[in-house]
Amino acid sequence: MESLDLHKISVRELNQYLHKELPNKNGVKKLEILNPDGMHSIAAGMDAPVDIDIKGHGGYYVGGMNKHANITVHGNVGWGVAENMMSGTVRVKGFASSAAGATGRGGTLIIEGDTSLRCGISMKGIDIVVGGSIGNFSGFMAQAGRMVICGDAGDGLGDSMYEAVFYVRGKIKSLGADAQEEPMTDADYAAVKELLGRAGFKHDPKEFKRVAGAKKLYNWNADANQEY
Amino acid sequence: MCGIVGLLVKNQKMRADIGKLMLPMLIGMTERGPDSAGLAIFGAPVADDERKFCLYTPDVVFDWQKLERDFAAHFGTKDKVEQNANHVILKTTVASDSVKAWLKEAYPRLSLLCVGQLMDMYKDTGTPAQVAARYGFQNLSGSHLVGHTRMATESAVTPAHAHPFTAGEDWCLVHNGSLSNPNSIRRMLEHEGIGFETDNDTEAACRFLEWRMREGDDLKTALNKGFDELDGFFTLLMGTKDQLALVRDPFACKPAIVAEHDDYVAIASEYRSLAHLPDVKNANLYEPMPEELYIWKV
């Protein structure tokens, strides 16, 4: 397996290699990145089907804009992990800071620990599976995609959400404007089962509740008097 | 932006090297704050009746010996000054108010950075590496410290506008974020007879909290009042003679991460400032929750 050490090369050199040389190379299907030490933008902008193991803690925007790659972080990550991901998988073995999976369009983001605030903010099609709990204001303006939360959710979950759907196993501190709990259907149980399977988490889908947008914000309501 | 760092060394043997442990933390926050840097460090206390005065001169060449002679002549003492680049530490038993009044009169160009029994403060413009080299941060010893790297967004880049800020004795604060109502806080405090040295938003928060504690609030009560009064974004890290304290705004708009280890507690805006710490892989790493007060005792 190819090994790249961030004590020896810069993140820019690493990413240039991952973007330009790696896709044209034969044989390299798996590589590891050593000593990430909280540096930013590690393996951001990937556009090749390759398995990347990051051995340690990443900084901001790890795997941002990812397309096709399967990235595993053997540690924690800073803000904006897998932000605007298009496809592929990003797995974080530890915890993720704020804005995990922000604006993500596709692919799967798996966080085995907790995430901080604003997880899945403005998500647009990504699937997010969180093994632990998520912080306040998560799923704000979430437009499409699914989020499975095996722990608890903080304040204001799903505020102003559109067509995304969240499944929460634990307690919800509070729902945001227009977000509401809805009955689980057979399709929901199947979706939770499939997403938990993808993440490798063993929970009973029956333990989850569904949160989605009530769609009352879709049209301007002059009588609401700014109370939502 | 701005970066904050804090380090509390629990292992007595490592306290002589707190400067060396901290230096990569501060330099690690250069991208978050390249225009100024500062540090407040708590070391060995002076005698019970003594106070340390940390002073800053903007002048490249300054005759500190003259200051020492003038001070001795005026107060009839034999107090010495220790010079370190643009800083000097004056230790004296003369009452604080008398020293402050005399300095203002006789040396109006000098800034008084802090007064206390344990705390020394350094702050200046330049990259964190430049400021650290100028004042020899790597040689500092002590039990705990707070540091800051500044990217100015709301007031000028000068040594006085750099963090930490202090009010009272042996108390300081660094701030990552911005306040949107510093002027109304200032007006409120000015009615209480509290003066300001800069137009910096953090100074308003600093003087607000110090005022509340002087009025009898403990830190927790003062900070709870701060949540009501301070509008804006903040991760605040505070140092007192025997503790570090951290609090984040309700939206946790500014980052923070803590590493708790048997030998130390280290706090930084980002993990990249903690990565070099000895045995950090076995530390308990976590993100402080919004609106919760975290206190670590020496």
Please tell me the predicted confidence (pLDDT) of residue A228.
63
Q: Per residue in B180-226, pLDDT tens?
A: 999 999 999 999 999 998 899 999 999 999 999 999 999 899 999 99
Mean pLDDT, chain B, rounded, equals: 94
Residue A94 with chain B: CB contacts under 8 Å: 285
Of B117, B137, B171, the one marking the end of a domain is B117
Please tell me the predicted confidence (pLDDT) of residue A27.
80
Please tell me the predicted confidence (pLDDT) of residue A222.
80
In this structure, are B12 and B151 located in the same domain? yes
Q: Are B162 and B38 in contact (CB under 8 A)?
A: yes
In DSSP terms, which residues pair with B234 in a beta bridge? B177
Cα dihedral value A166, A171, A172, A174, nearest 10? 170
Please tell me the predicted confidence (pLDDT) of residue A220.
81
In this structure, are B163 and B106 located in the same domain? no
Residues in chain A: 228
Please tell me the predicted confidence (pLDDT) of residue A223.
81
Residue B252 with chain A: CB contacts under 8 Å: 98, 116-117, 135-136
Q: Which residues of A touch B (CB under 8 A)?
A: 37-40, 56-57, 59-60, 76, 78-79, 94-95, 97-98, 116-117, 135-137
Which of A11, A34, A37, A155 should one mutate to test binding to chain B, selecting the residue with the greatest count of B CBs within 10 A? A37
Please tell me the predicted confidence (pLDDT) of residue B59.
85
Please tell me the predicted confidence (pLDDT) of residue A71.
98
Which amino acid belongs to residue B246? Answer: L
CATH number of the domain to which B78 belongs: 3.30.70
**Do A78 and B275 lie within an 8 Å CB cutoff?**
no
In this structure, are B190 and B129 located in the same domain? yes
Which amino acid belongs to residue A170? Answer: G
Partner-chain residue, chosen from B252, B272, B290, that has the shortest CB–CB distance to A37: B272
CA angle B136-B138-B139, nearest 5°? 75
**Do A59 and B287 lie within an 8 Å CB cutoff?**
no
**Do A76 and B285 lie within an 8 Å CB cutoff?**
yes
**Do A136 and B270 lie within an 8 Å CB cutoff?**
no
Please tell me the predicted confidence (pLDDT) of residue B292.
94
Of B87, B117, B147, the one marking the end of a domain is B117
Instruction: Output the CA–CA distances (angstroms, integers) from residue B150 to A76, A228, B163, in the order listed.
Output: 26, 39, 7
In this structure, are B250 and B291 located in the same domain? yes
In DSSP terms, which residues pair with B119 in a beta bridge? B42
Residue B171 has pLDDT above 70, yes or no: yes
Report d(CA A34, CA A4) in Å as an integer.
6
Report the chain A residue with the minimal C-alpha distance to residue B276: A37
In this structure, are B195 and B205 located in the same domain? yes
Residue B276 with chain A: CB contacts under 8 Å: 37
Residue A39 with chain B: CB contacts under 8 Å: 272
Domain range spanning residue B177? Answer: 3-45+124-297
In this structure, are B89 and B19 located in the same domain? no
Q: Are A78 and A92 in contact (CB under 8 A)?
A: no
In this structure, are B192 and B157 located in the same domain? yes
In this structure, are B110 and B198 located in the same domain? no
In this structure, are B107 and B131 located in the same domain? no
Please tell me the predicted confidence (pLDDT) of residue B53.
95
In our burial notation (b when 16+ CB lie closer than 10 A, e otherwise), range A175-195 reads bbbbbeeeebeeebbebbeeb
CATH number of the domain to which B23 belongs: 3.60.20.10
Cis geometry, peptide bond prior to residue B34 (ω within 30 degrees of 0)? no
Which of B5, B253, B272 should one mutate to test binding to chain A, selecting the residue with the greatest count of A CBs within 10 A? B272
Of B67, B98, B117, the one marking the end of a domain is B117
C-alpha distance from B261 to closest chain A C-alpha (Å) = 17
**Do B275 and A37 lie within an 8 Å CB cutoff?**
yes
Please tell me the predicted confidence (pLDDT) of residue B104.
93
Instruction: Output the CA–CA distances (angstroms, integers) from residue B196 to B116, B165, B205, in the order listed.
Output: 19, 11, 11
Low pLDDT (below 70) residues in chain A: 228
Q: Per residue in B68-89, pLDDT tens?
A: 999 999 999 999 898 888 999 9
Please tell me the predicted confidence (pLDDT) of residue A25.
84
Chain centroid to CA B22: 14
Report the chain A residue with the minimal C-alpha distance to residue B252: A117
Please tell me the predicted confidence (pLDDT) of residue B168.
87
C-alpha distance from B275 to closest chain A C-alpha (Å) = 5
Task: Give the count of domains, chain B.
Answer: 2
Residue B257 with chain A: CB contacts under 8 Å: 97
Q: Are A117 and B290 in contact (CB under 8 A)?
A: yes
In this structure, are B193 and B243 located in the same domain? yes
Residue A117 with chain B: CB contacts under 8 Å: 251-252, 290
Q: Which residues of B touch A (CB under 8 A)?
A: 251-252, 255, 257, 270-276, 285-287, 290
**Do A136 and B251 lie within an 8 Å CB cutoff?**
yes
Angle between helical axes of B201-214 and B219-229 (0-180°, round to 10)? 140
Phi, psi of A166 (to 5 degrees): -115, 145
Q: Are B222 and B240 in contact (CB under 8 A)?
A: no
Cβ pairs A/B, distance under 8 A: 45
Report the chain A residue with the minimal C-alpha distance to residue B288: A116
C-alpha distance from B42 to closest chain A C-alpha (Å) = 28
Catalytic site residues of B? 2
| Neighbouring C-alpha atoms within 13 Å toward the C-beta of A72 | 11
Please tell me the predicted confidence (pLDDT) of residue A87.
98
Which amino acid belongs to residue A91? Answer: R
Q: Are B138 and B132 in contact (CB under 8 A)?
A: yes
- Give residue limits of the domains in chain A: 1-97, 111-218
Residue A37 with chain B: CB contacts under 8 Å: 271-272, 275-276
Please tell me the predicted confidence (pLDDT) of residue A76.
98
Rg of chain A over Cα atoms, rounded to whole angstroms, equals 18
> For the residues B43-51, what does the mean pLDDT come to?
94
More confident residue, B59 or B107: B107
Residue B272 with chain A: CB contacts under 8 Å: 37-40, 59
Phi, psi of B14 (to 5 degrees): -85, -5
In this structure, are B74 and B129 located in the same domain? no
In this structure, are B154 and B223 located in the same domain? yes
> For the residues B147-176, what does the mean pLDDT come to?
92
**Do B290 and A78 lie within an 8 Å CB cutoff?**
no
